[in-house]
Amino acid sequence: MPPDEGVVASALELIEIDEVARLLAAGGEGLFTEAERAYAGSKVDPERRLAARLAAKRAAARLLGVPLREVEVLRDPGRPPRLRLSARAQERLRELGAVRALVSLTHERRHAAAAVLLLGAEG
């Protein structure tokens, strides 16, 4: 398969929800955008939601070679989560031969995880 088709790169990140609670207690709100914090805050389990978002940001940042702040996880009502990439992250995406990034989030009582796929033109 040519490099511009299908899955160009993938990453999976697993995080303990307690880690996010500790980060937040230590002033780590800056890890998240206002929209990410607002979404999580609207749920009964905000630490789980933020943990899944942190996992996604770490996975995407690792694939793209950018800081966490270059990646945002958004969720529109009734739609799956999506990544919003900064201009710098979008440039890296293209340099890697990908045209888009997909994200999947999950969480349970103690852990959250995210998978990120970078897809080529035919992916």
Q: Which pLDDT does position 1 carry in this prediction? A: 45
Q: Are 87 and 94 in contact (CB under 8 A)?
A: no
Q: Are strands 71-74 and 7-16 parallel, antiparallel or unpaired?
A: unpaired
Tell me which residue has tokens 């739609």: 79
Q: Is residue 91 part of a domain?
A: yes
Range of the domain at 95: 7-119
Q: Is residue 69 part of a domain?
A: yes
The rounded percent of the chain whose pLDDT value lies above 70 is 94
Please name the residue ranges forming H helices in the chain. Answer: 17-25, 34-41, 46-64, 87-95
Q: Is residue 97 part of a domain?
A: yes
How many independent structural domains does the chain possess?
1
pLDDT digits 0-9 by tens, 14-52: 999 999 999 999 988 889 999 999 999 999 999 999 999
Supply the pTM of this predicted model.
Answer: 0.92
End-to-end CA distance of the chain: 11
Q: Is residue 83 part of a domain?
A: yes
CATH number at residue 70: 3.90.470.20
pLDDT digits 0-9 by tens, 53-109: 999 999 999 999 999 999 999 998 899 999 999 999 999 999 999 999 999 999 999
